[in-house]
Structure 1
Amino acid sequence: MKRKKNVRLTGAIALISAVAVSLTGCGGRDDDSSGGARGASTGITDTTVTLGVTTPLSGATAGPGTCTVAGLKAYFGAVNAKGGVKFGDGKTRKVEIKAQDDAYDPQKAKSNYDQLKGSVFAMTSGLGTPTNRAYREAAIADKVPQVLVMTGDPIFSDTKESPEQLGFVPTYVNEGEAFGKLLAASGQDHKVAILSQNDDYGQGYVEGFKKGVEGASNISIVKELTYEATDTSVDAQITQLAGTHADVVFNAMSITPLAIASLQKAQQLNWKPSWFLPSNTSSPKAILEPGKAMAYPGVYSVSFAKAPQSPAFAGDEDVKTFLSDLKQYADYPDMPAFPHCMWSYMVGATLDQAFQKMKEPTREGFMKSLRDIKDFTAPLMLEGTSVDTTVDGQPAVSSVVVQKYNGTGYATVENFG
């Protein structure tokens, strides 16, 4: 009998030990391997949260790509200097940023993501439709948030298909439609020539423009041509379009050198239509000045951010704070040549809002609070625009204003011409 009792006792101890090991194993999976609190997601501890960025820091799009990191560093550098962000769970954390160069190459972007995913809480701010798409499916599978990225591709704002993703800038369709509506409302007859990038980026802009002029009898599209993002020249396309004698060019282009070359080539051909340029390739300093844009009757774009180089905002407090933070915390001493510097600063402010509302240090909690931001006027936002993450199918910013280049910056317009 004693022997049987001992067997039962030994079995009971073994069972208890097995349960203890099992519970310890579960606790290990809940803990963040980088030293976070129990239940925390990867990339967040009681004192820090780490964000990942893959963006072009070299190559033809290095200018705007560098800005996507600079604005983010400027915003959180200033916040960290004051102690950090007070999260909704009561803990104050500093924000760390890990940025890697993808040179606007989708394969490099995917490789960067693979390297970053094991140590970051979320991916954010990176520039480019093909580059963000390159690791989108992997991020969905890994349940790593890919949010407030710099692409107008609407796929990133579909909450059903991509519950852990969200775009920041207005969709390409939003931008194209805004210009189309302005042109249609002019009441004058216009012939439009279209040059677009042969991918989702270009197609989105063209789709939006056509939607904006739909039913407008005063607008006729006389020719449509495309180019590849890898092309080094679009002289042939501009020459063909010039032959139409169109008085408006809708130029859905994302490559800075090609945008400059387009403006220059049309002048060489003595073809001087009005131009529409996307928000990310309409920089006065980096594109319009070298392209001699004042030779044209009008160059238009859309925006939602104050332009620091514009005299209208020289004394603006938001702008002065932004420029100071950019120089001090991002080592970016020059006047920003691209709007992406301002956009990523706004991304920082939007992330800050989400962090403040997070009740738990988890990616699930983060996405819940991020998708609950409405009517937030981030620093540098133009009047009439705001951050709203609650609308399914729309990015964080969907409102834009059309502006016309005046030689130094842009001024908001209500009428075309």
Structure 2
Amino acid sequence: MSKRSRSVLGIVALSSALALTISGCSRGGDGGGDASGGAVAASPGITDTTLTLGITTPLSGATAGPGTCTVAGVTAYFGMKNAEGGIEFGDGKTRTVEINALDDAYDPQKAKANYDQLKDSVFAMTAGLGTPTNRAYLQAAVADEVPQVLVMTGDPIFSDQAESPEQLGFVPIYQNEGEAFGDLLASSSESHKVAVLYQNDDYGEGYLEGFKTAVEGASNIEIVKELTYEATDTAVDGQMTELAASGADVFVNAMSITPLVISALQKAQQLNWTPSWFLPSNTSSPTAILQPGGADAFPGIYSVSFAKAPQSPAFAEDPDVVEYLSALKEYGNYPDMPAFPHCQWSWMVGATLEQAFENMTEPTRENFMEALRSISDFQAPLMLDGTAVDTTVDGQPAVSSVVVQKYNGTGYATVEDFG
């Protein structure tokens, strides 16, 4: 298996105009105040005692499950740190971190409106879920010089410093994940026919690009059918019927919409088509997707990961997982076992941001970006062996390394071979 570096429900009651503030934080003044004693003018959203982060993410609608997790994890992380007294920044001041989160329902127009509402009162935007929603305010954030960092999209544009100087993605770019799938399949000793269903946008195209790059020249791999769907579709039965007729024994399903993945799993079984599946990391939850979809009917469900799964018995006593689950319940208002990996990812976002804060010598967005882009080989809490946070490589997100895992009926186990 290649490990290459190329590669809801405690908060759900939040409304579309929700502003979620971590409890236990005290405001030390307006965000635009001079936190440096006059030496350097502070950027908006930071004072001598507080720093405020903004999030626009889906807290309602079809993607509310993972969207809620993007708030819960980072809220829990900084809630825990605030309760310990705050974070000591590189300028010698100790600050608590506040979170203002707004619901965009995975609607780009709402995401842009949320950004407009938040931009003058927050220090940076972070953690929000979705390619179209993050793209909706990307150019505005660039023009306003507002950091839009460690966001939950695999779109490569967020890691291109020339195109997006104030941006940085957190999760592996789509091409990383697609390539990891292709590497594993190409290493198989058997011949395979592949069918592909991908979202008709940069998300789906990125997965397909990475997969094709990895299998190019592999004589044992034949892509026999490719179809698309729209993120706004409510069903993919027609596509599944056509793909089943292809005779493929491997299915690359680059889908981001949870209900559609479940219905695709169910439709394949109705058609008596049981190929091995490759699923993106963000739509491969055992409890929220695979079990309702009847994934046990298939010879193998494969996905990629860089974070420990708290549902896995292998991590039940892991110190990182124990601390995370405790904080998620106490400070993130999320009492249940998280069904989506986005809860773990946003916890890791909090830890990565803390690294940058500790190296900030001035209370400015510019200095923050310099500190953030200087993190190398950081083993954030919950990271799997073989993965790390590295923000120093232009064109890559904070996390670019993944491991391929196979569903075992309750969770995932890392695999070295396909089959």
DSSP-derived class of the 1:289 partner: helix
Instruction: Pick from 300, 303, 316 the counterpart of residue 302 of structure 2.
Output: 300
1:47-92 deviation per Cα after TM superposition (whole angstroms, max 9, x unaligned): 0000000000000000000000000001000000001110000000
Counterparts of 2:208 and 2:130 in 1: how far apart (Å)?
18
The 5-angstrom pairing of residues 94-109 of structure 1 reads: 94-109=96-111
2:269 corresponds to: 267
Query: CA contact under 8 A between 2:130 and 2:153: conserved in structure 1?
Result: yes
1:35 corresponds to: 33
Query: CA contact under 8 A between 2:82 and 2:97: conserved in structure 1?
Result: yes
DSSP-derived class of the 1:330 partner: coil
**TM-score, structure 2 as length reference:** 0.92
Q: Does 1:183 align with 2:188?
A: no
Of structures 1 and 2, the one with the larger relative CO (CA 8 A, separation 6+) is: 2
Query: CA contact under 8 A between 1:32 and 1:41: conserved in structure 2?
Result: no
The 5-angstrom pairing of residues 1-400 of structure 1 reads: 34-37=32-35, 38=38, 39-400=41-402
Counterparts of 2:172 and 2:283 in 1: how far apart (Å)?
14
Counterparts of 1:377 and 1:371 in 2: how far apart (Å)?
15
Q: Residue 245 of structure 1: CA displacement?
A: 1.4
Counterparts of 1:270 and 1:377 in 2: how far apart (Å)?
43
Query: CA contact under 8 A between 2:76 and 2:327: conserved in structure 1?
Result: yes
Query: CA contact under 8 A between 1:351 and 1:370: conserved in structure 2?
Result: yes
What amino acid does structure 2 have at the position aligned with 1:192? V
DSSP-derived class of the 2:77 partner: helix
Bigger-Rg structure (1/2): 1
Counterparts of 1:36 and 1:270 in 2: how far apart (Å)?
66
Counterparts of 1:34 and 1:211 in 2: how far apart (Å)?
47
DSSP-derived class of the 2:113 partner: helix
Query: CA contact under 8 A between 1:319 and 1:380: conserved in structure 2?
Result: yes
Query: CA contact under 8 A between 2:360 and 2:371: conserved in structure 1?
Result: yes
What amino acid does structure 1 have at the position aligned with 2:33? G
Counterparts of 1:166 and 1:105 in 2: how far apart (Å)?
21
- Give the number of the structure whose residues are more often helix, by fraction: 1
1:142-192 deviation per Cα after TM superposition (whole angstroms, max 9, x unaligned): 000000000000000011221111000000000000000100000210000
Counterparts of 1:186 and 1:167 in 2: how far apart (Å)?
32
Query: CA contact under 8 A between 1:298 and 1:404: conserved in structure 2?
Result: yes
Counterparts of 2:336 and 2:270 in 1: how far apart (Å)?
31
What amino acid does structure 1 have at the position aligned with 2:60? S
What amino acid does structure 2 have at the position aligned with 1:110? K
What amino acid does structure 1 have at the position aligned with 2:418? F
Structure 1's unaligned 5+ residue stretches are 1-30
Counterparts of 2:405 and 2:242 in 1: how far apart (Å)?
28
Counterparts of 2:330 and 2:300 in 1: how far apart (Å)?
36
Q: Residue 34 of structure 1: CA displacement?
A: 4.1
Counterparts of 1:163 and 1:138 in 2: how far apart (Å)?
12
Query: CA contact under 8 A between 2:152 and 2:171: conserved in structure 1?
Result: yes
Query: CA contact under 8 A between 2:111 and 2:133: conserved in structure 1?
Result: yes
Query: CA contact under 8 A between 1:354 and 1:370: conserved in structure 2?
Result: yes
DSSP-derived class of the 2:293 partner: coil
RMSD: 0.9
How many pairs align?
387
1:221-267 deviation per Cα after TM superposition (whole angstroms, max 9, x unaligned): 00000000000000110000000110000000000000000000000
1:304-328 deviation per Cα after TM superposition (whole angstroms, max 9, x unaligned): 0000001111111100000000000
What amino acid does structure 2 have at the position aligned with 1:383? D
Counterparts of 2:33 and 2:361 in 1: how far apart (Å)?
19
What amino acid does structure 1 have at the position aligned with 2:103? D
1:191-229 deviation per Cα after TM superposition (whole angstroms, max 9, x unaligned): 000000000000000000001101001000000000000
Q: Residue 33 of structure 1: CA displacement?
A: 6.1
